[in-house]
Amino acid sequence: MADTKKEFSKEAVEKLKKAKKVWLITGDNERTAKAIARELGIDEDMVMAQVLLQDKAKKVKELQEAGKLVAMVGDGINDAPALAKVDIGIALGSGTDVAMKTANIVFIKDDLRDVITSIDLSSYNVRKIKQNFFWAFFYNIAPLPIAAEILYPLFGFLLNPVIAVGAMAFSSISVVLNSLLMRRYNLKL
């Protein structure tokens, strides 16, 4: 007997392999685990089979000690200790309560493609945050030399308070407009 693979598992693994290393850690025997790995397109050297409940967390720790950032998808009681140890624990909605309470992220559906979407969306979100910081600093710091009258001896220009207020307002507007562009998000992986 072996765990059944989730719908869309093969598609999710193929997309994840483009950007990340994919491991299969399972309590199944080695032959079954390697057969499932072949079916999903996971390299045989990336399979950890016959891993007991308490050993899954140890395997995760080994990967972390090797300098890897580890994310794990699990749905059972036996995944909970490892989900607690990983950098990003992901539980599927059909999983046990223990797995869902231990994980950092819980998907309502059982669609493993949501893992790819969440990775891509979080990267997109971080890019937007960096852009917003840039625009906020630009509109708030650029007028400082003028306001401090540093440029007055060179150009004879002083900052009118109305312009300073406008720069502050435009800073907020640019951040909000840039954030609203996130509504156009499309999956890139």
The answer to whether 182 and 124 are in contact (CB under 8 A) is yes
Does one domain contain both 48 and 83?
yes
Does one domain contain both 101 and 137?
no
For residue 189, pLDDT beyond 60? no
The answer to whether 117 and 16 are in contact (CB under 8 A) is no
Q: How far is it, in rounded angstroms, from Cα 123 to Cα 119?
A: 6
Say what the pTM is: 0.72
Q: In the listed set 85, 111, 137, which residue is the last one of a domain according to the structure?
A: 111
Interval 37-51: pLDDT, tens: 988 889 888 898 998
Closest by Cα among 34, 17, 189, 37 to 118: 189
Does one domain contain both 31 and 47?
yes
- Where b means 16+ CB within 10 Å and e means fewer, 2-28 reads eeeebebbeebbebbeeeeebbbbbbb
Interval 79-119: pLDDT, tens: 888 899 999 999 888 777 888 888 999 988 888 888 888 88
